[in-house]
Amino acid sequence: MTPTLIIFLLVIGIATAIYSGVLGTFMIGLRRLPRNGRVSHEKWPTVSIIVPARNEAEVLELTLKSLLAQNYSGDWEIVVVDDRSTDSTPAILAILAQSESRIKVLTITEKNPPSPKKNALAKGIAASKSEIIVTTDADCTYGSGWLQGMVSYMTEQVGVVAGLTIFDLPSDSVPIWQKVQWLDFFVQNFLAAGSMGLNHPASCNGSNLAFRREVYQKISGWGNHARIVSGDDVLFAQRVGLETDWQVVFAPSPETVVRSLPVETFRELMHQRLRWASKGLTYRGSMLTFLFGIYAYYLCLIASPFIAYFYPSSAPWILGILLGKTLVDFVVVRQGCAVFRQERLLPYFMPFALFQTFFVPYFGIAGLLLPYRWKGDWYRTARLPRTMKRNIWRVRKFVRRHRHAESPLP
């Protein structure tokens, strides 16, 4: 083997060892979650559930009826923010609000806010008065003990409580990519739970998030991130962990799980993942370093089979590294499934392992550059440097001129 090849094998081998160690720390965090304190409040705090909704007529009624079935011991309300809906969402809300005094409806009419969801959440929070704010999405369902379970983790030191969100498996006959995205989404969530178990909040999900109004006011809501389309959850939790003394904890109990609907088409999945990745450059330094390290490692994994093909002497080493990495992933996924009782997802592990190897670096990098479609509008979070924009404009101008010169005469 050449010296360059030996260095490559050493680098990818060491990277695999570091990767395994990092995943091991997440597992330590998962095992610590049951230690999170719970309290049965003598007087349960008031709660406002904020539900932003845009064109959710198909699922909104089911979501609100599921919320109305909560068994919460204190005073609580539901604030639904109709964010410029053009379907029958307003009519559904009008009917429900008339029959349920607990539902308050706000309507947003301003055109093209820079971050629609954060704008809707901010308006909903401003219209509420409760001590505890809980955010969720308009396409979710909940157990009757969800709200009380989440608030029970709000001890004196805790400012933010995150919960698990999972996709439901409606049938076994759906396409394989649907099954892979269910497992992938679950893995993202339980790794976020593990990071909180280590007192290092890295991510969370806005469909299942509770925080004190005091905390929200202390850090001025989303602050400088208010104009970023995504990140109403993870960027908020990271800022609380960095800028305040409040604890950010994860609620591991079964009653705090929220069930959400997955996207229905592969095209929607692509845009969803681009949107999630688009906020990457706004993460704190340690998180950003970790993510780009993962991207570089996965790119090396993708290159490994080609190197093994052209340099057969390296094949046994590369095969050992790939098998070792896959084994580590399986052990971690199996433990996460066991902790949250989601063993039904394990049969989809192998296609998931292949999927993430290619798509983690793709979405991580493409999300910083490419536009994406969300709720009927197009967005681009990243801004290209001026020199790059100028060069792209020059290329486009040249291509148009060239096409015009070659176009046939009428």
Which pLDDT tens digit goes with each residue over 97-134?
A: 999 999 999 999 888 777 888 889 999 999 999 999 99
Contact, 189 vs 202, CB < 8 A?
A: no
For residue 139, what are the contacts with CB-CB under 8 A and spacing of at least 6? 56, 59, 60, 63, 260, 261
Burial 99-136 (b: 16+ CB within 10 A, else e): eeebbbbbebeeeebebbbbbbbbbbbeebebbbbbbb
- Written as one letter, the residue type at 68 is L
- Written as one letter, the residue type at 368 is L
pLDDT score for 281: 72
Other C-beta atoms lying within 10 Å of the C-beta of residue 17: 14
pLDDT score for 140: 94
pLDDT score for 220: 83
Q: Going along 122-222, which residue ranges are E strands? A: 132-135, 140-142, 158-163, 165-167, 209-212
Contact, 112 vs 27, CB < 8 A?
A: no
- 112 Ramachandran zone, left/alpha/beta (phi>0; psi -120 to 50): left
pLDDT score for 366: 86
The pLDDT of 41-62, averaged and rounded, is: 94
pLDDT band at 391 (very low <50, low <70, confident <90, very high): low
Contact, 192 vs 246, CB < 8 A?
A: no
Which of 97-111, 202-216, 358-372 has the lowest average pLDDT?
358-372
pLDDT band at 282 (very low <50, low <70, confident <90, very high): confident
pLDDT score for 389: 47
Contact, 91 vs 120, CB < 8 A?
A: no
Q: From CA 153, how far away is CA 131, in angstroms rounded?
A: 14
Contact, 375 vs 271, CB < 8 A?
A: no
Contact, 273 vs 370, CB < 8 A?
A: no
Q: Which long-range contacts (CB under 8 A, 24 or more apart) does 290-294 make?
A: 290/22, 291/364, 292/364, 293/15, 294/19, 294/360, 294/361, 294/364
Q: Which residue has the higher pLDDT, 321 or 392?
A: 321
Q: From CA 325, how far away is CA 20, in angstroms rounded?
A: 7
Q: What is the pLDDT of residues 222-254, one digit of tens each?
A: 777 767 776 667 788 888 888 899 999 999 999
The pLDDT of 203-224, averaged and rounded, is: 88
The pLDDT of 306-334, averaged and rounded, is: 94
pLDDT band at 408 (very low <50, low <70, confident <90, very high): very low
pTM above 0.75, yes or no: yes
The pLDDT of 337-365, averaged and rounded, is: 90
pLDDT band at 390 (very low <50, low <70, confident <90, very high): low
Across the chain, mean pLDDT equals 86
- Written as one letter, the residue type at 12 is I
Instruction: Give the chain's domains with CATH numbers.
Output: 37-185+195-266 (3.90.550.10)
pLDDT score for 383: 57
Q: Which residue has the higher pLDDT, 392 or 160?
A: 160
Contact, 274 vs 264, CB < 8 A?
A: no
pLDDT score for 272: 86
CA angle centred on 62, ends 59 and 64, rounded to 5°: 105
The pLDDT of 165-187, averaged and rounded, is: 82
Q: From CA 123, how far away is CA 119, in angstroms rounded?
A: 6
For the record, the structure tokens of 140 come out as 């979710």
